Structure 1
Amino acid sequence: MRKLAALACPFVLLLLFGCDSTGTESSGGTAPPTTTTTTSPPSEPSTPGTVGQVDRAAMNQDAKEAVQAIGAYWRTNFPEAFNQAYRPPRVAGGYTGTDGPPCGGEPSVPFNAYYCQPGDYLAWDEDLMAAGYNQIGDAWVYLIIAHEWGHAIQARLNDDLVSVQAELQADCLAGASLEGAAKQGLITIEPGDPEELAKTLAAVADDYPWTKQSDHGDVQERISAFRTGVTGGIPACTT
C-alpha cells in the first residue's frame, strides 16, 4: 500500500475478490481486516520485546504517508458527512516503551497503539509497528493508523452517532477511510495488500489480553465491520 496517484484496482474489488498485477479481478481474495485501539504485535515468530531486522526508515515513511492520506481523507469528507467543521487530531507518532506521551496522567504502554481523547492525539510504539511491518508488510501500518484515527473521529461526533460497540465502529471507519482514500487517489492498493490486511486482522483480533472479545469483537465481527465501511462508506458506520 502506497501513497500514489492512481489505482490499479478498486479497493472494494481487491477486498472481495483479489486483483492481479494488471488490475483484473481474480479469485481467492481475502476478507477485509481491521485493527484495535490497543494493539499487540503478531505472535510468530516475534514476541513482545523482540522485533527482528526492520527497515525503519521505510516503515516510518509508510507511517508518514498513511497519516497524510488518512488525514487528507477526513479533512475533505468529515465536514460533508457530519455538517460540521473538522479539527484534525494531533499525531504524536512513534515512541518506545514508556517514553511516549502520557494520556490522562497514565504513561504510555509498550507495544501499543492508541488514541488519547484527553490529549486528542494518536501515538504508537515503534517496536509494535516494526514487528508487524517485518512479519506482515506495510498494510499493517496503514490499518493501525486508520483504526486509531477512527477513534479520533468518534470523539468529534454527537453521542447519538457513536456506537456502544466503539471498537467495531472504529474498524468500520477505518474501512471507510482507506476505501475513500483509494478512490480519491490518495493511496494505491498494491497486489498482496489484501493478504497483508487479513494477516493484520488475525494478528490483532482477540488473541491478546488487550483485545478482549467483550471489548473489540471477534474476528468475524471485525471483518464484517471493516467491510461495512468499505462498501457503505461513512454513513454505514454511523447508522
Structure 2
Amino acid sequence: MRLDDEAESQHVEDRRGGFGGLGGKSIGIGTVIIALAASYFFGIDPMLIMQGASVLQGSGPPQQQQQANRPPATDQMTVFTRRVLGNTERTWQHIFETQLNRRYAPPTLVLFSGATPTACGTGQSAMGPFYCPGDQKVYIDLAFYDELRQRFGAGGDFAQAYVIAHEIGHHVQNLLGVSDKVDNARRRMGQAQANQLSVRMELQADCLAGVWAATAQRANQQLLEPGDIEEGLKAAAAIGDDRLQRQSQGYVVPEAFTHGSSEQRVRWLRRGIESGDIRKCDAFAARDL
C-alpha cells in the first residue's frame, strides 16, 4: 500500500504502557476489579483508581511512568495504523454521503498492550482486535500484526489494513442499527442459531472491508499495489473458523462457527472489493453464504 500521502487519524487513543491499559506489572487484577466495581456502583472513573495504584506502586509521577513505558507515537506500525484509520474515515464519510445520504461518525481506535477496560468488559490481547459498540471504539494490540504473519502466514501491509477495516465494518453496522438487531435476535435463539447469525454479521463486516478498499482505490489509484488484494484474501482465509478449529483441536465443528469458514470469508471480502457497493453486503438476506 502507498500511504505516504495519507493524513493520519486524530481519533486514536494510545494506552500502551500507561494506566489506560492494564498490561503493566504495576497494576494487578485486584486493582482492575476494584476499579470496575467502583465504576459500576458509585460512578467513579476506573482510570482514577488505576492511576492512583500506579503512583503508589511506581517510583515516579504517573505521567513520567506513562511516557517511559509507552512506545513512541511515531513508530512505523503506529503511523501505519493511524494512516489506515484516517483513510477509512474519509472513505466511509464519502460512502455514507453518496450511498446513504447521511453523515459518518468515526470511531476511536485504542492501542493497548496486555489488557484494557472497555464498555464491553476487559479487553485482552489474546482476543485479537475487536470492536465494542458500547463505547464505539476499536481495540487493537499491534502485536497482533506479528501473530498474523508468524502464526497465520498472512503478512503484508494490506493484510494488516484488512484487519482494521473489518473492525471498522462492525462500527458501520453499529451506526446503521444492524448490531442492535442482531443482539436482540440472538437473545431469543438457541446457541446454534445465534452462532449462525454471528457468522452472517462477521461476513458482512468482511464485505464492508472490501467496499472500503474498492472505494479508497477509486479515490486514489495509487493506494493499492500489485499483490495487495491477494494479501487481504489470504488473511481472510487464514482466520476462517474451520482453519482455526483444525489448528487448535484437530477437527472442525461447523455448528460452533462464529465468523465463517475460510472460503466464506474470502468470498464476502471479494464481493465487497469487486462491487464497491454497500448494498451488496447484505449477508443476512443471502440464502447461500
TM over 0.5: yes
* 1:3 match: secondary structure: coil
What residue is the counterpart of 2:85 in the other structure? Answer: 67
Deviations 1:7-51 (A, max 9, x none): xxxxxxxxxxxxxxxxxxxxxxxxxxxxxxxxxxxxxxxxxxxxx
Q: Partner of 1:236 in structure 2?
A: 280
Cα offset for 1:191? 2.5
Q: Gapped runs of 5+ residues in structure 2?
A: 6-73, 183-196
Contact 2:174 2:180 in 1 (8 A): no
Alignment of 1:1-239 (within 5 A): 1-3=1-3, 57-92=75-110, 94-98=111-115, 100-104=116-120, 106-111=121-126, 112-132=128-148, 136-159=155-178, 164=197, 165-185=200-220, 188-206=223-241, 207-208=243-244, 214-232=257-275, 233-238=277-282
Matched positions, count: 186
Q: Is the 8 A contact 1:168 1:221 kept in 2?
A: yes
Distance 1:147 1:187 in 2: 22
Counterpart in the other structure of 2:193: none
TM-score by length of 2: 0.57
Query: Take 2:136 and 2:244, find their aligned partners in 1: how far apart are those partners?
Result: 26
Equivalent AA in structure 1 for residue 78 of structure 2:
N
Higher relative contact order (CA 8 A, sep 6+): 1
Q: Is the Cα–Cα contact under 8 Å of residues 167 and 216 in structure 1 kept in the other structure?
A: yes
Q: RMSD value over aligned CA atoms?
A: 2.9
SS at match of 2:2: coil
Contact 1:4 1:187 survives alignment (8 Å): no
The answer to whether the Cα contact below 8 Å between 1:150 and 1:170 also exists between their aligned partners in 2 is yes
Between the aligned partners of 2:136 and 2:80, the Cα distance in structure 1 is 22
Structure whose alpha-carbon radius of gyration is higher: 2
Structure 1 residue 90 displacement after superposition: 1.6
**Normalized per residue, which structure has more helix?**
2
The offset of 1:114, in angstroms, is 0.6
When the two structures are superposed, what TM-score results if normalisation uses the length of structure 1?
A: 0.68
Letter in 2 for 1:109: Q
Give the residue type in structure 1 aligned to 2:244: Y
Distance 2:178 2:229 in 1: 33
Shift in Å, 1:186: 7.7
> 1:131 and 1:109, CA in 2 relative to 1: closer, same or farther beyond 3 A?
same
Contact 1:115 1:121 in 2 (8 A): yes
Q: Find the aligned partners of 1:162 and 1:227 in 2 and give their Cα distance.
A: 25
Counterpart-to-counterpart distance in 2, 1:162 and 1:185: 35
List gaps (5 residues or longer) in structure 1.
6-55
